[in-house]
Amino acid sequence: MKFLIAGFYHESNTFSPILTKKEDFIEVEGEELLDYFPGAVHAFRAAGAEVVPCTFAGWMSSGVIEEEAYRYYVDKIVAQIREQKNISGIWLQLHGAIYAENIGCGELFMLRKIRKAVGYEIPIAIGMDPHGNLSPDITKYANILRAYHTAPHEDQQDTYRITAEALIDFALRGVKITPAFVRLPMLLCGDTALTRDEPLRSVIARFKKMEAEGEAACASFFISMHSANTENTYPAVVIVPRKPEDYHRAMARAREIAEEIYERRHEFRFEGDLVKPQEAVDMACDSEAYPVVISDSGDNTTAGATGMNTYFLKLFLDKGDFHGKKVLISTIYDKRAYMLLKDREVGSDFDIMLGAGVDEWSQPVPIRGTIKAKGATLVYHPMRSGLRTFAGGLITVSIGDLDITISEVADSFTDMEQCEVGNFKAEDYDIIVVKQAYQFPDLVKFAKKQIIALTPGATYQDLAAIREQYTKLPWTLWPFQGNDK
């Protein structure tokens, strides 16, 4: 048996004003690619199969991909697949929310080209991120789909193993399987859909049972990626039956689970207090519990926002008096401001404009103060779970009781290791503003109080309030319609 491995990883935020270019992507080929997917590779090798790596490219969540860039990678992957003879199956890692300029749904575009090259006789499996906006048409081209069962994501390799095992099984038995796919008539805010909370906790437990007991090869819930105006921005339940004749049973089960999730839609809630930005600033300064972590949720870089917004900075500058509290805004991405400061001495004064000015939310603000420290940013590798990578420089500046970290790249403060690398101490502050919506475990542990501020930006969280921006979705969707909030 011979299995090909390829992939493309990108969560495209259509509300970001910045297109993602070819040079932004990390590209791996050959043996190096196999290091990214040990879950799948071990499964293939354990079955005595040959594994052929093609190309895998990806980047962190950001704006829509330039047409030329996406065509380049798809053409490259398809050409590599076409070169191979006697293929038993193709295993892909695709994010699920790939969206390219003038192309639209990136997954469909790639899969159609692959099927054109190899026909429909061999099975295709895809390991995916649950924040995917899937077209129902994906089931015409792929036989196996599975999303990670965790958000925040921790079980990527399990998904890769399970999909690879199903691919081997389908190839050996020569069965042609169509996944059962059911969409939910709702726009779901991904930051309210964590698998540690209900209703997803029990839904995932049910999926695990179905997979363990053999009722399904794979069972998944695609939460969707809400910061994208696409024709596919819907959550979906996808169940892959083991046998072609079980398709209708899988469909009935998918429908039943989709209905149950829809019925429980009001249980999707943020983990912290959700308030207007000004209220968040006032609440934090008046809070008796410290430290307070505030989410600048409209500029969540982990969901593709720019990280450039100066909105919160202006609110704190306007407030002026923080009731004796020390505040950190972490972090504002402005390469020009970073370059202006990077060669200056720590302890020296500065007087600059901060704000990249790419849209109305990132307009420059005059700031004057002292350079406090220099360090680096440490970000999660976009395509390799668990791996951290140094991404660029970070400078901490002080304006009285307000400190700001200014970074060379888009970043989000998600864990304490970043303090060490960035050369700042989280415990020095009473209030920390981060470019996130929900918090990662380190910050949950650190915060005595969490506030989610409904700030404007490319990842705005009050979806019903911006329904006019979702021009590709019907207004009959929950929570758009009526007063059914």
Q: Nearest to residue 197, comparing CAs of 150, 155, 154?
A: 150
- Rounded to 5 degrees, φ, ψ at 131 are -85, 45
Residues 8-47 that bind Zn ion (CB under 5 A): none
Q: Name which of 131 and 253 has its Cβ closer to Zn ion.
A: 131
DSSP per-residue string spanning 53-94: EEEEEE--SEEPBPHHHHHHHHHHHHHHHHH--S--EEEEEE
The span from the CA of 93 to the CA of 164, in Å, is 11
- Shortest Å, Cβ 139 to Zn ion: 21
Q: Name which of 131 and 149 has its Cβ closer to Zn ion.
A: 131
The span from the CA of 297 to the CA of 307, in Å, is 10
- Shortest Å, Cβ 125 to Zn ion: 19
DSSP per-residue string spanning 238-278: EEE-SSGGGHHHHHHHHHHHHHHHHHTGGG---SSEEE-HH
Q: Name which of 129 and 299 has its Cβ closer to Zn ion.
A: 129
- Shortest Å, Cβ 94 to Zn ion: 12
Helix or strand run (H / E) with residue 404: strand 402-407
Q: Name which of 131 and 435 has its Cβ closer to Zn ion.
A: 131
- Shortest Å, Cβ 304 to Zn ion: 11
Give the number of residues written for the chain: 485
Q: HSE (CB half, 13 Å, CA atoms) of 263? A: 7
- Shortest Å, Cβ 131 to Zn ion: 4
The span from the CA of 178 to the CA of 175, in Å, is 10
| Bond into 479 cis (ω within 30) | yes
> What 3-state DSSP class applies to 399?
strand
Q: Name which of 190 and 291 has its Cβ closer to Zn ion.
A: 190
Q: Name which of 90 and 151 has its Cβ closer to Zn ion.
A: 151
| Residue sitting closest to Zn ion (CB) | 131
Give the number of residues in contact with Zn ion, rule: CB under 5 A.
2
Q: Name which of 129 and 191 has its Cβ closer to Zn ion.
A: 129
Question: Per-residue b/e over 122-136, b at no fewer than 16 CB within 10 Å?
Answer: bbbbbbbbbbbbbbe
- Shortest Å, Cβ 182 to Zn ion: 20
- Shortest Å, Cβ 301 to Zn ion: 13
- Shortest Å, Cβ 221 to Zn ion: 12
Instruction: Sketch the per residue contact string, 112 through 151, with Zn ion: x for CB under 5 A, - otherwise.
Output: -----------------x-x--------------------
> What 3-state DSSP class applies to 419?
helix
CA distances from 102 to 7, 99, 333, 359 (A): 21, 9, 28, 22
Contact 185, 93 (CB under 8 A): no
Q: Name which of 301 and 405 has its Cβ closer to Zn ion.
A: 301
- Shortest Å, Cβ 7 to Zn ion: 15
- Shortest Å, Cβ 367 to Zn ion: 34
Q: Name which of 61 and 309 has its Cβ closer to Zn ion.
A: 61
Instruction: Sketch the per residue contact string, 78 through 117, with Zn ion: x for CB under 5 A, - otherwise.
Output: ----------------------------------------
Q: Name which of 162 and 315 has its Cβ closer to Zn ion.
A: 162
- Shortest Å, Cβ 155 to Zn ion: 12
Residue with tokens 């920390």: 432
Q: Name which of 131 and 226 has its Cβ closer to Zn ion.
A: 131
- Give Cα 339 distance to the centre of its chain: 28
CA distances from 131 to 10, 42, 110, 170 (A): 11, 26, 18, 26
Other Cβ atoms closer than 10 A to 17: 13
Residues 163-192 that bind Zn ion (CB under 5 A): none
Residues 296-335 that bind Zn ion (CB under 5 A): none
Instruction: Sketch the per residue contact string, 435 through 464, with Zn ion: x for CB under 5 A, - otherwise.
Output: ------------------------------
In the complex, the residues that contact Zn ion under the rule CB under 5 A are 129, 131
